Structure 1
Amino acid sequence: MKKFTLLIILLISFTTFAQRSGSKITLSGKVIETNSKQPLEYATLVLTNTSTQQVVGGVTDANGNFSIDATSGTYAVKVEFIGFKSKSLGNHTLTENKNLGVISLSEDTETLDEVEIIAEKSTVEIRLDKKIYNVGKDMTVKGGNASDVLDNVPSVNVDAEGAVSLRGNENVRILIDGKPSALVGLSGTDALRNLPADAIEKVEVITSPSARYDAEGTAGILNIILRKGKITGFNGSVNFSVGNPDLYQVSSNLNYRTKKFNIFSNLGYSYRKGPGNSYSDFTYLSDGIIDSLSTEKRVFDRKNKNFNGSFGLEYYLNDKSSITGTVFYRNNDGEDIATNNTRTFAPDKSLIRSFERIEFETEDNIDTQYSLNYTNNIDDKGQKLIIDLQYSENEEDEYANITNNSVLTERNSQITKSRNRLFQIDYVLPLGEKSQLELGHKADLQNLTSDFQVRDANGQPFEFDPSNAIDFKQYIYAYYAQYGSKIDKFSYLLGLRAEHTDIDLRVLNTGELSDKNYTEWFPTVNLGYEFNETDNLTLGYARRLQRPRHWFLNPFETRSSSTNVFKGNPDLNPAYTSSFDLGYTTRVSKITLNSSLYYQFSTDLIRPVSRVETRDNGNVFVRQFLNLNDENRYGFELTTNYNPVKWARLSATFNYFKFNTDAFDYTYSYINSDTGNTVTETKTLPEVNSSSWFARFNSRITLPAKIDWQTRIMYRGPQDDAQGSREGIFVTNLAFSKDIFKEKASVVLNVSDLFNERKRKGYTNTDDVRSYQEFQWRERQITLSFTYRFNQKKKRERPERNGDFDGGGEGF
């Protein structure tokens, strides 16, 4: 019944635009800095209706241009930008479209901390092909990392292991400043935990990407935008955090800007202990009869030291072009101790054996990246040329000693090196006042080697040697074209992208070669209709793909457990998805509602499949990725923001989705290490019809003494799959914040996972095994943070850009 009620609310929201009326007028112009004549991006235009006192707002784009839609009437017009003197343009009676021309603002450094912020904006900005979440308003991420930031973003979830999902789908493409980055690293989600939250300005959630974006990521794209100062002079912030379990972190965001150049940097060092645990209970079957039972309890004791720093210089060649160079470096040292207590029982539950397996692992990761960007705003009409060059190297050195019952039995090492090169060129050509053509090319080249060795206590290989070495190459060449235009209230963006992929995986110790080459076309359609100032409708279509990553393909097995392992599959093919998204945004009084219906059809779905293998130490539970059959997924999402009074801000997100996966037959082979014989078996995965949902609620209350209290509650519902089910997860975070030193500093107390219940719990049921598994990546975290800001406001707030249907800030 609750599901139908929410659906009715969604349908009602689609009809509220009928209650609005009025003749629409467009006010346009350009804002520049008085001395340098440079355009001011994100300058705020505030229009106050002299009769109704209703406020309409807008912001300038990268070229300083603005275009604001309002109903006919008389408005007091004001222009603001932090660090600059506000300018009042008097009253303007708008009966037809009007251009205010070029508006100059002068710096006002003496009153930098006294700029009045008039327009409140919601935490989400709506664009034609994306939503933008501004990080600065969410204090639960203070002292946290990029994973914590993403877990606060509507539509996004980060599970107990750090895996990121968008609308319940984990195949998400993560970009930094619009490009692949060494900040994400080889291990993806692990690297995100080492990027300080304070270095992030905003996150773009792109569920229907246009053709300018990579086709990778069937769920969509998350683009993390890092902070870069926009105020002339020296400014920035520093943050100090301590916590329990042990956490010591210091980070800074520093910026120095003049008329000719802009120097920016993000630096951070952290020491963190990350205790975790897991429990597994296996019942192994033979022809439906219990063959044996086992339990496995694991305790993780992690220590991590991380330093990361980025340094960039943007030099303004002239008033239209600039060149930016950036260097990034990260050094991450970790020590992990995994204590594994395993007990094996006979069918009558009598104990057969018990042993303690301890893995002591050291890990050293070094990532470096060099980037060069050239941007030329060729003219004032929006013609633009952008060229990006990027080179990065990643190296992970992992060494592990494994003991069984305090006796050293195994020495492991894995050396992984990756070299990545990227070249990208984008050209934007305006066609008239409200249309533009965009063309681009991108080459993304990766070479990776991984040498995994397993040795006994004496450094000699085992008779059944699981060692593995691979040489992996993935070259992607892409070309795209897209055309966008705005006709009165209707906007559209049509694109086509072609990507050629060349993947080679050579297993060096066996000579096995997996060679895959394919060229695919990816059309995109993004449509928008703006009913009035507060209501707009969007419709998007995109074809996407999921390429298997190198660790999906690498056939080596994990060694942390002798009875519960994961291994790669070199025969994986890419999965393809056609995605449709219908969105509606409305604002009624103090309530903003974003709603969407979506549908995805996927082929050759990539999913992990579990099975049991018989080995010399008994039954082993093995997980491996396979290409399954087709899947249909559809759902709806609601996000609301409600500010009933000045001291209270409330927001909520609800997402419900249903999916159907076809039945699938698969055959696998393995060598029984006890007998030496090859075992081949055929299994059937049944058809799956399942659904799930998640909800998130945020409240921010200002208490007496101007103490801000924020509560975030999240629940992810249970879900079934072809081989079992997953239980729901409930998480609560609390934070208290107080500004001090005339708002130049803040103190934040943050409790993450208040009830210590962020655990993944799931069941597996096959013909061979029934299991229950519980995993907690990290336990409750309490953090106290102090942030000091100099020559900048606590937050730079800009009004919501209703009706801005540009795909990436290009102004149509």
Structure 2
Amino acid sequence: MKNSFLLLFVLILNIFSPVFAQETGMLKGVLKDNKGAPVGFANVALVQKETGTVKTGTTADEKGNFQLKAPVPGTYFLRCTFLGFQHTESESFQVTNESFSKDFGVLVLQEEVTNLKEVTVQTMRPTITNHPDKMVMSVEGTAMAAGSSAYDILTKAPGVWLDQDGNIQLNGKSGVRVMIDGKLTYLSGKELQTFLSGMSADNIKDLEIITNPSAKYDAEGSAGIINLNLKKNSLSGFNGSVYAGYQYNTIHGYSNGGNLNYKKGKWSSTAMLDVSRRARVRTNTMDRAFNEAGNITTLTQKGRENGATFVPNLRLSTDYELSSKHSIGIMANLTYQNQETDFDTDSYLRTGNPENDLFIQARNYTQRNFGNGTFNLHYSGKPDTLGSTLSVDLDYADLLFKGKGDFRNYSRPADLSQPASLDQLGSDNPSGYRIWSAKTDYARPVFTSGKLELGAKASHVVSDNDLQFFFVRENQKIADPLRSSHFIYTENIYAAYANFSTALSEKIQVQGGLRAEQTVAEGHSVTLNDTRNREYFGLFPSIFVQQKVSKNYQLNYNFSRRLDRPGYNNLNPFIFYLDPYSWAKGNPDLKPQYTNSFQLTQTYKDAYTLILGYANTAGFMAEIPTQNNQNKTTEFQTRNVDNFESVNANLVLPVKILPKWEVSNNLSLEYQNYTMYLADKHRRNEQVFFFAQSNHNLQLPKDIRMEVNAGYQGPSAYGLYKIDQNWWVDAGFKRAFLNNQLDLSVNVTDIFKTRRVIGAANFDGNINEFDQYFGMQSFRINLRYRFSRGEKFELKRRNTNLEELRRAGSGS
């Protein structure tokens, strides 16, 4: 396998061998207002004249200075924008070669008539902005980000909400891929929740929501991609920040850390450290009804989960410029987590005969250690003078989990007439994942305004899960072979893609791509001595058409085909203990699901967006609860149901109520339809779903910034489940001191404690209802101090993308 990887990338590098060539020219200038004062932090976009397409851009420094590397030959102009100023465009200019340079001198931005001098980009920056291929939500500098985790921030993103297990969904669909700086987090399920909960939002710049990715991205992830962009170093010399925060959500927590950046000559390096204690609180009420020939038995359970995770996280990266056209870099991300959780439940089992009714107290304790080391070696360059680019990424990840559980169940008659009997169980669960991946991406201009992109990727994954379950009798461990399992899963994925984009006219641009992926996998149950092989091949086309109807009105049409592979642990045929009456069971016959998506996006004045979409998923993977009327237990298993289709409309509506009060609104309406064949019956679960979110930014007196986030999630469907409505309100305040070097932020989330997850499934009269609250209500206070000096420079960005690791830990 490793030899195959080596041969593949030797071939690619021989085809696209970089040529170390001439220096690249620069475009530079300074932005000022009509009084001669610098306009700092304004946006400068490089626009191709023929198509009106933004090719690249930058942000001016605090003195209004900007500079850009010269683009490929063509005709361009600069577009400068800043809140409170009119858009300013330079005269068009012709770039003849990559050594072309131009000094624009002073570009003057004219103030809007309604502008107030007190309104600055820091205080009134738009929270949500739309682009033709994605939606971007700003995080950096917001009051709600201070002291929060990445998981907290994701739950506030447009179209994002949580299912009954706290897993992230996007626009009502599971299978969301979460990336950091274009690199997948390697996790899903509860491991992804824990990882994101231990990651400080103070280090996040913004998040990108991409619902229909192009063929350049891995085909995995039918719901789309959420990419978290971390803050980038933008100054030479030594600079950075430190922060400290406190959180309370009935359990005390804290977050401390900082980042250091250093650039000198051709080296640029960054270090980020966060040490936190993240608290997890969950309350759960569950009601089940077992229907056996009209005789109803009920199980009512109330539970509370209290947990705390100690998380030190260190991220190191360094880049070296071999020349102005070629750079190499290395990144390491090291995370350790120590998690301790108590989950206590009180349950009543009522059979209709009081003599047989039971009261069960479960006292469960789990302790988990998680180590995650991910490493990336990156090369990027321009191998010729035509504007071609080449990047190569080599990735390795080593994930290690060690978990121990102690489960004590005390049973007695419901009338408490007899003492309780103890049934004690335990588990040891070491597991691990090792992942190797290599990829390359090549792009070059073709014809007058075209672009060709080619790429390839290969990955090798080994998942080893050894679950040892046992009874505890008189302090002696007795193996439980029915719950114990050793499962090894090996997977190889080979992929290649081609993308081509061009302008058909001044008003129409097109992009078409095709990705091919071959999957070869083996699941081996050591416990059962059973091996199952699977191999499948898929083609994943994508088409994008952009039509500029007028200066203010634009249409985008797109289609893509994607898939979701089963999580590694979901293929393990053994059971995973939840409580005496509940467990999850793997499904070795689980198959990938495939989704075809269509979207029409209408954009008006680069601000107002209406997205109309349709998606159809074949073989949708959904959790199916199966209740046993004999022993009153419930088994949860992920299965392929027949089909899921959705028709949706999404409206992004920014509103400026007052000069110091701006609002970003996001409204969604969706028809959801699940069809499935279960227990010899065709079944349908459909729902019209409505979602609304409103983000308010207000500039108050005394330089205090206030943020309010309000949301409503209407009734929705998911597999067999019907999910009830919920709503929430968050608020935050922020003020800067010491010439904007010190920030104080205070925020309260879910003020009215209304963001509950309530739902039910009715399977032939067998009912499973739940009411869960994930401790969303919290108070946070945070301090951040920044220190910086030096000149602007460009930090190279990695574009790695490991979808294989996202599925690690699924089904926990």
Cα gap change, 1:85 to 1:585, in 2 (>3 Å): closer
Choose which of 339, 345, 348 in structure 2 pairs with 1:343: 348
Deviation at 1:663, TM superposition (A): 3.9
The range that moved more, 632-641 or 157-166, is: 157-166
* Deviation of the 1:158 alpha carbon: 3.8
- Counterpart pick for 1:196 among 176, 194, 200: 200
Whether the 8 Å contact between 1:389 and 1:424 is mirrored in structure 2 is yes
Contact 1:662 1:688 in 2 (8 A): yes
1:368 aligns with 2:373: yes
Note if 1:157 corresponds to 2:152. Answer: no
Question: Is the 1:717–1:727 Cα contact (8 Å) retained in structure 2?
Answer: yes
| 1:471 equivalent among 460, 477, 488 | 488
* Structure-2 residue corresponding to 1:804: none
Name 1:268's counterpart in structure 2: 274
- Cα 1:235–1:164 change in 2 (3 A) is same
CA contact (8 A) 1:47 1:57 kept: no
1:256 maps to 262
Cα deviations by residue, 1:739-784 (Å, 9 ceiling, x for unpaired): 1111112111111111122221112212252232111222411100
> Cα 1:698–1:127, aligned 2, differ >3 Å: closer, same or farther?
closer
Please say which of residues 94-103 and 235-244 is displaced more in the overlay. 94-103
Q: Distance between the aligned counterparts of 1:143 and 1:748, measured in 2?
A: 8
Q: Distance in 1 between matches of 2:507 and 2:354?
A: 71
Output the CA distance in 1 between the equivalents of 2:51 and 2:660. Answer: 28
Cα distance in structure 2, aligned partners of 1:280 and 1:44? 64
**764-773 vs 164-173, which moves further:** 764-773
Question: Is 1:216 the counterpart of 2:201 in the alignment?
Answer: no
Report what 2:601 is aligned to. 583
Query: Which stretch has the larger CA shift, 599-608 or 121-130?
Result: 121-130
Equivalent position to 2:783, from 767, 786, 793: 786
Q: 1:268 to 1:161 in 2, by over 3 A?
A: farther
Distance in 2, matches of 1:282 and 1:790, equals: 57
Paired with 2:789 and 2:154, the residues of 1 have a C-alpha distance of 25
Q: Structure 1 residue 594: deviation in Å?
A: 1.4
Q: Match for 1:736: what amino acid?
A: F
The change in CA–CA distance for 1:70 and 1:210 in structure 2 (over 3 A counts) is closer
- 2:236 aligned with 1:239: no
The one-letter code matched in structure 2 to 1:345 is R
Given candidates 572, 581, 589, the residue that maps to 1:554 is 572
CA apart distance, 1:503: 1.9
Q: Residue 385 in 1 paired to residue 390 in 2?
A: yes
1:603, 1:39 → 2: CA distance?
A: 51
1:195-594 equivalence runs, <5 A:
195-244=199-248, 245-290=251-296, 292-347=297-352, 352-379=357-384, 381-405=386-410, 407=422, 409-458=424-473, 459-461=476-478, 465-486=482-503, 487-587=505-605, 592-594=607-609
Contact 2:311–2:337 under 8 Å retained in 1: yes
**Aligned mates of 2:617, 2:763 — CA distance in 1:** 25
Q: Give the match's secondary structure for 2:472.
A: coil
- The amino acid that maps onto 1:59 is V
Q: Percent identity?
A: 23
Shift of 1:438: 0.5
- 2:734 aligned to 727, 730, 737, which one? 737
CA apart distance, 1:550: 1.2
Listed as ranges, the gaps of 5+ residues in structure 2 are: 1-21, 68-77, 81-86, 106-117, 411-420, 794-800, 802-812
Q: Distance in 1 between matches of 2:445 and 2:580?
A: 61
Return the letter of the residue paired with 1:643.
K
Deviation at 1:56, TM superposition (A): 15
- Per the alignment, do residues 784 and 333 of structure 1 end up closer, same or farther by CA in structure 2, a change over 3 Å counting? same
**2:639 matched to 1:626?**
yes
**1:5 maps to what in 2?**
none
Q: 1:186 to 1:476 in 2, by over 3 A?
A: farther
Deviation at 1:95, TM superposition (A): 11
Aligned residue for 1:399, secondary structure, equals strand
- Partner Cα distance (2:196, 2:26) in 1: 32
Tell me the amino acid that sits aligned with residue 467 of structure 1: S
1:596 matched residue in structure 2: 611
Query: How many Å separate the matches in 2 of 1:736 and 1:350?
Result: 58
Q: Give the equivalent residue in structure 1 for 2:771.
A: 774
1:646-657 alignment, distance < 5 Å: 646-657=659-670
| SS of aligned partner of 2:527 | coil
Q: Give the distance between the partners of 2:632 and 2:519, measured in 1 at CA.
A: 39
Of 134, 141, 149, which aligns to 2:145?
141
Could you give the per-residue CA deviations for residues 21-72 of structure 1, whole angstroms, max 9, x where no partner exists?
A: xxxxxxxxxxxxxxx987789x89979999xxxx998635xxxx6547999x
What letter matches 1:575 in structure 2? Q
Amino acid at match of 2:459: D
**Structure 1 CA distance for aligned equivalents of residues 459 and 553 of structure 2:** 39
Alignment RMSD: 3.5
**Deviation per residue, 1:459-516 (Å, 9 max, x gap):** 5445662111100112111100011112312221110000001121112111232321
Q: Distance in 2 between matches of 1:44 and 1:418?
A: 50
Provide the TM-score with structure 2 as the length reference.
Answer: 0.82
C-alpha offsets along residues 669-716 of structure 1, whole Å, 9 cap, x if unaligned?
A: xxxxxxxxxxxxx44351233221211111111111111111111111
Q: Which runs of 5+ in 1 are unaligned?
A: 1-35, 72-77, 107-113, 666-681, 797-807
Counterparts of 1:551 and 1:466 in 2: how far apart (Å)? 14
Whether the 8 Å contact between 1:177 and 1:223 is mirrored in structure 2 is yes
| Conserved? CA contact 2:124–2:662, under 8 Å | no
AA partner of residue 400 (structure 1) = G
Distance (Å, rounded) in 1 between the aligned partners of 2:59 and 2:772: 50
- The Cα shift of 1:543 comes to 0.3
Structure 1 CA distance, aligned partners of 2:702 and 2:160? 33
Within the candidate set 677, 696, 700, 1:699 is matched to 696
SS of the aligned residue for 1:189 comes to: helix
1:98 aligns with 2:93: yes
**Selected match of 1:746 from 737, 743, 746:** 743
Q: CA deviation at 1:259?
A: 3.0
Q: Is the 8 A contact 1:660 1:690 kept in 2?
A: yes
The letter for the 1-side match of 2:160 is V
**In 2, Cα distance between equivalents of 1:702 and 1:278:** 39
User: Residue 207 of structure 2 aligns to a residue in which SS?
Assistant: strand
Q: What one-letter code is carried by the residue in structure 2 that aligns with 1:536?
A: Q
1:81 to 49, 60, 65: 60
For 2:397 and 2:751, the matched residues in 1 are separated by 39
Are 2:146 and 2:201, in contact at CA under 8 Å, matched by a contact in 1? yes
Report Cα offsets for 1:208-243 as digits up to 9, x if no partner: 111100100111111222222122122222221102
Q: Report the CA distance shift for 1:683/1:789 in structure 2 as closer, same or farther (over 3 A).
A: farther
